[in-house]
Structure 1
Amino acid sequence: MQRNILQYLEETQKRLPDKIAYGDENNTITFSKVYEEARAVGSFLANKGYYKEPIVIFMKKQPRTLAAFFAAIYGGCFYVPLDEEMPAFRIELIFEKLKPRAVICDESTRVLLNDFTFSGEAYLYDELINTEINHKALATIRDKAIDTDPIYIVFTSGSTGIPKGVVACHRSVIDYIDNLMEVLKVDETTIFGNQTPFYFDACLKEVLGTIKCGATTYIIPKSHFMFPLKLVEFLNEYKINTVCWVVSALTMISSFRVLEKLIPEHLHTIAFGSEVFPIKQFNLWKEYLPSARFINLYGPTEATGMSCYYEVERAFNLEEVIPIGRPFKNTEVILLNDDNKVAVPGEIGEICIRGTSVTLGYYKDQERTAEVFVQNPLNDSYPELIYRTGDLGRYNQWGELIFVSRKDYQIKHMGHRIELGEIEANVNRLEGIKSSCCIYHKERDKIVLYYTGDIEVRALVERLKKKLPRYMIPNHTEALEVMPLTPNGKIDRVYLQNKFLNKKEK
């Protein structure tokens, strides 16, 4: 019985010691090297007395950073990934919340530590890997370990501006990765192309999928996502056949017509998530890669990353959205209406998740944990926690789960209840539109639409008038050259909110 994610690495390194586990344009690291370095650094942590506490991994995005993650776990601790590209104020808030005693860094990030309030010890990864492996200490740590021990803390955005540290344990991660790899059909021939920053849980698909299945992950340079032709060239050069990307990364390639010039010739599995994939852009991908598998993934960080999947096996017209489908094995999705009852077929309800994949809650934040990790209102017989996602969904006529919107994207405007996602969906269907984002300014009662594309504002508004009722027509519409994105590739709605506010103040 598997109780620890390190068993993935230990079994694979015996079978495929010299195979590349992780690589980028400059470096690669084999499974045996990941194993040896992780155990050496884990021994250092054990020798120093660090145990069951956060170890910050503050290194550049490169292959050895992933070995440092496993090192923290070998040392009986849990890792917290940071990155130099994260905003300084966010890093400061995370340090304040964690108060870590140890940070593992590289030469470049050690210098940056001077800019933050940090009173612990900073260690260079390249020096720690020379530590002699303390087999006895590591064996003792493993003997004490249980499957509800934390593995990592990943910080997500908080509505108050204070990041929330989601704590995941071995049991939830093993459940998630085992199910996801089965759905994606990952094996030793799989070559992942990593897009997601390491400080987001979304990278677990490649990071842990690789050590479980003996696959290989290549880290794609962030700069390539600004130059879609270069991005596809990278996919072909490294023979990448499987990607798990945010929708915006895929639509950037299709909306700039890169597929007309160059096809990702090895790509056979395309998993996507984070946002609704506009059917117009999806159909372009399907047209140029007709034999590929396309899988929509849905799930929150608080449920260890992904909870539902839908493999696209039928055609969709422009008026539809791709379902998020069905939950993974050992997971249940419950749709609850405003009365905390199960939503009837067709009724919109809040997506709530029950099962092993639900994480432990927020680090040192009992109040916010209690708000969303709650007793299942359908069960009054014994304690049973579910996670309330804040996402709204419904079942279509085929019994497939459809993501509708965020609860906080549902507004009351001119006496009507409006889903901002519905406005975006109608905009994205229009010819000439690449992407769109609708926000609501509550104080001024204004619906604001930002978009990128080759259509004039006036023409766009006129076309929307033919599709939407008058009360849903945006009060302000503005074309952008580039849609702002957060570090994990989602549209940056906070930035757009501030952009509108600043515009109004001038």
Structure 2
Amino acid sequence: MINLIEAFENTVELYPDKLAVLDANSEFTFSALKVKSGILSFYINQKIGVINSPVAIYLPKSNDCLTAFIATLYSGNCYVPLDTKNPVSRITSIIEVLEPSCIITNNENISKLTKTELDHSIINIDEINFAEPIDPVENYKNCIDTDPAYIMHTSGSTGIPKGVVITHKSIFDYTNWLIDTFNISENEKIGNQAPFVFDNSTLDIYLMMFTGASLYLIADQFFTFPIELVKYLNAHEINFIFWVPTALVNVANMNALKDQNLKSLRKVLFCGEVMPTKHLNYWINNLGKDVLYANLYGPTEITDACAFYIIDRKFEDDDVLPIGKPCRNTDILILNNKNEACMTAEQGELCVRGTSLASGYYKNFDKTNAAFVQNPLNKNYPEIIYRTGDIVYLNENEEIMFVGRKDFQIKHMGYRIELGEIEHIILQTFNNIYTCVLYDPTFNEIIVIYEAKEEISLKTFRLRLKEPLPNYMMPKKFIRIDSLPKNASGKIDRNLLKKTYTP
């Protein structure tokens, strides 16, 4: 198979009456999802009549949003999720660069699009009669595996988000690896946390489409109330989750597993942030021995994940988890400042080569050429690698260890410091706390923003951190807030905190 719809068609044939996806308002079987997607694909084709063009999806995470993704693929085009929670200015900047062939939205969100004051070709999904039988278009048969399947936007240094172009081939490579590595079948009940504008959702969506697994779109409000979240997992017998660590940490901090046993949960995967070992141990200690845990690593530009580590030994609370080894058909290079391969224990930048690489950034050749570069270790023929900007090293077990971002590294009092290391130490030293460590270059201060039920005195912080932290790494300020803000991906919104506390 070379096209994602071919895989979906095969699944529909095998499991037509099985639950495909469930949200707060409706549920679709695989055959119903195909029918609805097929009808919508007819209207997309009628509106634009081309292939390999971006179709923007301006809908909240829902069954309708997923339908629009699949319909776009049926039409031979690539879908572009837009966050309905984003400010109009951000949506405007994305649309101006993207110039989508059309935008799919609904009654609730169409008025927001008018505020962009741009000329859109719009399909209102609420105005379509899905009871009218229409055969799906088959333009997807004209596409090849290097054609784009979706464009996912990430933050750009200029303030304009970068559109990462991911192909059918890359998704096949990633999804088939997932199926084989984690033994995924039609029996999986996947509890989705990732917003559809975040690349972690790629795993949830395509495991459903490829295997016949059932996908449960958990409403955002459940992640604000961890005890209710656990009840949801139990009620629906969820046996597989792939969440950002923040969601797992919140459950641990609220001790939400104390009185509720997640009897069905068998696979817990996480990605997108550093997973605090202390909080992982809470899950391990409360769920028992029959649960698989895996730490996945990767930026959007390599189709969600390029490295993984299945937890296979005991870690102390103050240990750091490996990000492990490369995924199948992926190679990871660790390069020093001279573009040479690092030795064991030598820190360098993690770079990736393989089928999983994105095609580049949509309509941004300068940024593409800066990040997707010739492999400096290959002097014989053209070979592209992606430079992640992440600092890592190989430990004595030949496992990749994450150190931090290049841009999380600061120079303070003459020392080079990883802010992530300070966060890690605080999390291991204090219970029921969650932190974000910032640096204010104007006043040369390290600042801790922390989430906790009660304020911790400055004296207590300094006394308890005096031993694990050297003087030059000791934060100057500790600021308690009720809740650390989250971005669209469910991770800590560091940019918002920087703007608020280091203006």
Give the TM-score normalised by structure 2. 0.96
Check conservation: 1:393, 1:402, Cα contact below 8 A. Answer: yes
Secondary structure class of the residue paired with 1:380: coil
Q: Judge which range, 35-44 or 299-308, deviates more.
A: 35-44
Residue correspondences, number: 498
Secondary structure class of the residue paired with 1:260: coil
Q: Give the 5 Å matches for 1:80-99.
A: 80-99=80-99
Q: Deviations over 1:1-40 (max 9, x none)?
A: x211112210010111111101023200111111122222
**Alpha-carbon distance in structure 1 between the residues aligned to 2:151 and 2:131:** 27
Secondary structure class of the residue paired with 2:91: helix
Quote the sequence identity (%).
38
* Residue 69 (1) aligns with residue 51 (2): no
- Aligned residue identity for 1:21: A
**Alpha-carbon distance in structure 1 between the residues aligned to 2:357 and 2:379:** 19
Check conservation: 1:376, 1:384, Cα contact below 8 A. Answer: yes
Q: Give the 5 Å matches for 1:160-239.
A: 160-239=158-237
Q: CA deviation at 1:447?
A: 1.4
**Alpha-carbon distance in structure 2 between the residues aligned to 1:388 and 1:381:** 20
Alignment match, 2:392: 393
* Residue 491 (1) aligns with residue 489 (2): no
Alignment match, 2:278: 280
Alignment match, 1:423: 422
Q: CA deviation at 1:126?
A: 4.0
Alignment match, 1:456: 457
Q: Give the 5 Å matches for 1:81-160.
A: 81-128=81-128, 129=130, 133=134, 138-139=137-138, 141-160=139-158
Q: Give the 5 Å matches for 1:376-415.
A: 376-415=375-414
Q: Give the 5 Å matches for 1:202-351.
A: 202-290=200-288, 291-351=290-350
Check conservation: 2:197, 2:488, Cα contact below 8 A. Answer: no
Secondary structure class of the residue paired with 1:284: helix
**Alpha-carbon distance in structure 1 between the residues aligned to 2:315 and 2:281:** 8
Check conservation: 1:433, 1:451, Cα contact below 8 A. Answer: no
**Alpha-carbon distance in structure 1 between the residues aligned to 2:246 and 2:326:** 24
Q: Judge which range, 350-359 or 71-80, deviates more.
A: 71-80
**Alpha-carbon distance in structure 2 between the residues aligned to 1:450 and 1:38:** 45
Check conservation: 2:89, 2:116, Cα contact below 8 A. Answer: no
Q: Judge which range, 266-275 or 58-67, deviates more.
A: 58-67
Q: CA RMSD in A?
A: 1.5
Check conservation: 1:80, 1:154, Cα contact below 8 A. Answer: yes
Q: Deviations over 1:195-221 (max 9, x none)?
A: 111111111111110010100011111
Secondary structure class of the residue paired with 1:97: helix
Q: CA deviation at 1:130?
A: 5.8
**Alpha-carbon distance in structure 2 between the residues aligned to 1:32 and 1:464:** 58
**Alpha-carbon distance in structure 1 between the residues aligned to 2:354 and 2:83:** 31
Q: CA deviation at 1:318?
A: 2.5
- Aligned residue identity for 1:488: S
Q: CA deviation at 1:134?
A: 5.4
- Aligned residue identity for 2:80: V
Q: CA deviation at 1:71?
A: 0.8
Q: Judge which range, 462-471 or 378-387, deviates more.
A: 462-471
**Alpha-carbon distance in structure 2 between the residues aligned to 1:57 and 1:494:** 25
Check conservation: 1:269, 1:293, Cα contact below 8 A. Answer: yes
Q: Deviations over 1:39-95 (max 9, x none)?
A: 222222223324321111112321121111011111111111123222322211111
- Aligned residue identity for 2:246: S
Q: Deviations over 1:476-495 (max 9, x none)?
A: 22222211211211111111
Q: CA deviation at 1:133?
A: 3.9
**Alpha-carbon distance in structure 2 between the residues aligned to 1:216 and 1:6:** 17
Q: Deviations over 1:134-187 (max 9, x none)?
A: 56xx44x33421101001111011122211100001001110111122222211
Q: Judge which range, 70-79 or 115-124, deviates more.
A: 115-124
Check conservation: 1:95, 1:117, Cα contact below 8 A. Answer: no
Q: Give the 5 Å matches for 1:5-20.
A: 5-20=4-19
Q: CA deviation at 1:225?
A: 0.8
- Aligned residue identity for 1:112: K
**Alpha-carbon distance in structure 2 between the residues aligned to 1:7 and 1:461:** 59
**Alpha-carbon distance in structure 1 between the residues aligned to 2:395 and 2:183:** 27
- Aligned residue identity for 2:311: V
Give the TM-score normalised by structure 1. 0.95
**Alpha-carbon distance in structure 2 between the residues aligned to 1:134 and 1:266:** 39
Check conservation: 2:88, 2:112, Cα contact below 8 A. Answer: no
**Alpha-carbon distance in structure 1 between the residues aligned to 2:131 and 2:361:** 35
Runs of 4+ in 1 over 6 A off after TM superposition: none
**Alpha-carbon distance in structure 2 between the residues aligned to 1:108 and 1:31:** 26
- Aligned residue identity for 2:104: I
Q: CA deviation at 1:116?
A: 1.5
**Alpha-carbon distance in structure 1 between the residues aligned to 2:253 and 2:284:** 13
Check conservation: 2:198, 2:488, Cα contact below 8 A. Answer: no
* Residue 477 (1) aligns with residue 478 (2): yes
**Alpha-carbon distance in structure 1 between the residues aligned to 2:311 and 2:449:** 29
- Aligned residue identity for 1:122: I
**Alpha-carbon distance in structure 1 between the residues aligned to 2:188 and 2:355:** 27
- Aligned residue identity for 2:150: Y
**Alpha-carbon distance in structure 2 between the residues aligned to 1:184 and 1:101:** 38
Q: CA deviation at 1:301?
A: 0.2
Q: Give the 5 Å matches for 1:354-393.
A: 354-393=353-392
Secondary structure class of the residue paired with 2:397: coil
Q: CA deviation at 1:131?
A: 6.8
Check conservation: 1:295, 1:312, Cα contact below 8 A. Answer: yes
Structure 2: tracts of 5 or more residues without a match = none
Secondary structure class of the residue paired with 1:153: strand
Alignment match, 1:78: 78
CA change 1:44–1:395 in 2 (3 A) is same
**Alpha-carbon distance in structure 2 between the residues aligned to 1:259 and 1:271:** 17
Check conservation: 1:18, 1:31, Cα contact below 8 A. Answer: yes
Check conservation: 2:360, 2:368, Cα contact below 8 A. Answer: yes
